[in-house]
Amino acid sequence: MSSERRWSVFVPITPVAQPRQRISTIGGRARSYLPKKHPVHGYKLALQHAVREAGIEVGDGPLAFGLVFYLPMPASWSKKKRAALLHSPHCQKPDLDNLAKAVLDGLLPVIGDDSRVWQFDVLRKLWAEHGGIGITIEEAT
């Protein structure tokens, strides 16, 4: 009989998408990299810290993830527009798959090998007053 351990955490951080790799050729060899000053680096560290602070410690079992992204509304929007679009679908860039990749890459030091992830549900991205990520992790034991 299998049992599951489940954690849910809300991380109050504005979601950042995983950028495309940059490619350069040096000495006839191609090299792919991300610029050192890209905001995704600090984002991943903040994400790891928030998940560790929440007391999430996964074992060696298979993992399932659920994600909900809350993207902040622009400050230039009127109060009327903000009220009308609060918690409505966010259908602009950044793309949902790039947001999810950044979260999974950011959590690699916490979860270990990402081949253990057998289910990855990216549920939605919504407009919100403040940015954040709702993360649910289940570990089958």
Residues 50 and 11 sit within 8 Å (Cβ to Cβ)? yes
- Peptide bond just before 72 cis, omega within 30 deg: no
The structural domains of the chain, ordered by start, are 4-140 (3.30.1330.70)
N- to C-terminal Cα separation, the chain: 9
Phi, psi of 71 (to 5 degrees): -100, 135
Q: What digits encode the pLDDT tens for the residues 98-134?
A: 899 888 888 888 888 788 888 888 889 999 999 999 9
How confident is the model at residue 1, as a pLDDT?
A: 41
Identify the DSSP state of 55: T
Residue 33 has pLDDT above 80, yes or no: no
Confidence of residue 9 (pLDDT cuts 50, 70, 90): confident
Residue 2 has pLDDT above 80, yes or no: no
Residue 13 has pLDDT above 60, yes or no: yes
Confidence of residue 3 (pLDDT cuts 50, 70, 90): low
How confident is the model at residue 44, as a pLDDT?
A: 83
Q: Higher pLDDT residue, 102 or 18?
A: 102
How confident is the model at residue 86, as a pLDDT?
A: 95
Average pLDDT of span 19-24: 78
Q: What digits encode the pLDDT tens for the residues 38-87?
A: 777 788 888 888 888 888 888 888 889 899 999 999 999 999 999 999 99
